[in-house]
Amino acid sequence: MKKIQLTKEQMGQVVAGVLFGSLFVYAYLNYFWLPTAKKITDNTNMVASIETDIGKAKMQKAKYKDLEVKLASLKEDKEAAQKKLPRERKLPDLLRTITLLSKRYHVSITAITPSGSAPVDYFTKVTYIINMKGNYHNVGRFLTALGLEERIMTSENLTMSATNAPDASVSASFILAAYQYNG
């Protein structure tokens, strides 16, 4: 093969061409390629982050439906618990309940006397002394129904005595304890 001989002028042009070419490549990489590649990488990361957030939001949305159902269930439980253990005294409701049960079980309430209240850890025990007359079995049914009411109530210190009245075989006196929530 034949060697190519270049003159000094041609060598200068080749060196200048390589120098300008490498300067062009350097400028292209620094001012166009690398910033564009960085933007592409940043945008790719941002898209991945947004997709992750969307996935989390979809999972929370799926849980949210369950939370709504659970919240509704808890509200129902709270209402049921408040009926059993109300926050207030609710004396009119208590009197209605006692009157209704006395009519249903054919007993006659002769007196209801409030006898005080005593705070306990999480509730207050409100007591009433109740005097009544009726048939022995009807009194028993009345007390049972009172204990089975939705609101928590107990009968304490029951005393019974026989009577000579034609419509009532016993006279009874007991302490009715109704409870209310302190929280």
- Reduce the DSSP state of residue 139 to 3 states and report it: helix
Q: Are 102 and 149 in contact (CB under 8 A)?
A: no
* Nearest to 85, CA basis, from 120, 113, 129, 130: 120
CA–CA distances in Å: residue 62 to residues 35, 48, 65: 40, 21, 6
Predicted pLDDT at 104 = 93
The model's pTM is: 0.58
Sequence ranges of the domains in the chain: 11-84, 91-181
Predicted pLDDT at 10 = 84
Kindly report, residue by residue over 40-93, the tens digit of the pLDDT.
888 889 889 989 998 888 888 777 777 777 888 888 887 777 766 666 667 888
Minimum mean pLDDT range among 15-24, 25-34, 61-70, 145-154: 61-70
Q: What percent of the chain has pLDDT over 90?
A: 28
Amino acid identity of residue 180, one-letter, is Q
What residues form DSSP beta bridges with 174?
130
Fold topology of 91-181: Alpha-Beta Plaits (3.30.70)
Amino acid identity of residue 39, one-letter, is K
Q: Over range 153-180, report the average pLDDT.
A: 88
Predicted pLDDT at 94 = 85
* Mean pLDDT score of the chain: 85
Predicted pLDDT at 170 = 92
Predicted pLDDT at 34 = 84
CA–CA distances in Å: residue 124 to residues 15, 79, 113, 147: 101, 19, 18, 18
* Nearest to 131, CA basis, from 177, 77, 164, 175: 175
Q: Over range 139-160, report the average pLDDT.
A: 90
